[in-house]
Amino acid sequence: MSAFWSAWVTVITLAVIFGCTWLLFATRKSEKFKETTDQTVGHSFDGIEEYDNPLPQWWFYLFVATVIFGLGYLMLYPGLGNFKGMLGWTSANQWEAEMQHAEEVYRPVFAKYAALSIEDLQKPENEAGLKMGQRMFANNCSVCHGSAGTGAIGFPNLTDNDWLYGGDPATIKQTIANGRNGGMPAWADVLGEDGVRDVASYVLTLSGQEAAPGTDVANGEKQFQALCTACHGADAKGMHALGAPNLTDDIWLYGGSFKQVAHSIRAGRAGVMPAQKDLLSEDKIQLISAYVYSLSNK
């Protein structure tokens, strides 16, 4: 915050507090808090008149205590512009302290289940461990893969047993821990627009769909064999080592319409799965991996 805005916030905050304090004392009607009067405010509301009496004593003192508390709080904690408060408290430090406390409390619980293999965590007696993994998945992974793990356009469905890099426990854990960087090169400059449309039509026929009208499927197959088999394989069933998807199962990461497939070929795709090893402990990654594995092995 700049010096100007820091001073602005400080002045406004203190002006409001002292202004209210002045108003509180300026409107006192008597030195004796219990003194009352028969005078009214001079208005009638639905036949009801209001006496012009001072605040009750307890109410007045409550206002005074509020002012004192507010000034004390602003001295100890941040609230006056760039002034950090005499205690040096920050929300970031508070959050870190609470997270550290939580780690100390729950570390033995995580360790108990993380000591088990991912396969053993699928057993009914270890259901509590899977539920812990589910909650951590919801907190860390659902923003991309959805709360149920069913994914979205550009984010894989984790429940259908169709895996870009493999769905065995070790590979799932490696993916979560180290992340993945998938790349589909753009072929527009190589194929031209007609070539892009031909290859897109051929790709659609691989999963039993009809080719788009006005396209040359034979040319699309020829171009596919020349340019695409290095990643997707001669049978177009993909390659886990590269994260290249199977094009024959009618399961699509970026959509399976002619327009969407053509766009993928024309402009390419870039998918990133962020590494979690620097954000989550080994124990937590183990439990999340077990939960993800369970989604496609129910």
CB atoms within 10 A of CB 246: 20
Looking at 1.50.10.10, 3.40.50.300, 3.40.50.620, 1.10.760.10, the CATH number of the domain 182-273 comes to 1.10.760.10
- Residues of the chain within CATH 1.10.760.10 domain(s) are 105-179+276-295, 182-273
Statement: 105-179+276-295 belongs to CATH 2.120.10.30: no
Report the C-alpha gap between 44 and 24 in whole angstroms.
24
Spatial neighbors of 89 by CB under 8 A, at least 6 apart, are 76, 77, 78
Beta strands in 121-176 (DSSP E): none
Spatial separation of the C-alpha atoms in residues 268 and 164, rounded to whole Å:
17
Would you give the DSSP letter of residue 242?
A: T
Tell me the pLDDT of the chain (298 aa) as tens digits: 889 999 999 999 999 999 999 988 887 765 554 566 677 777 777 888 877 777 778 888 999 999 999 999 999 999 998 999 999 899 999 999 998 898 888 888 888 888 899 999 999 999 999 999 999 999 999 999 999 999 999 999 999 989 999 999 999 999 999 999 999 999 999 999 999 999 999 999 999 999 999 999 999 999 999 999 999 999 999 999 999 999 999 999 999 999 999 999 999 999 999 999 999 989 999 999 999 999 988 6
Which H or E run contains 269? strand 269-273
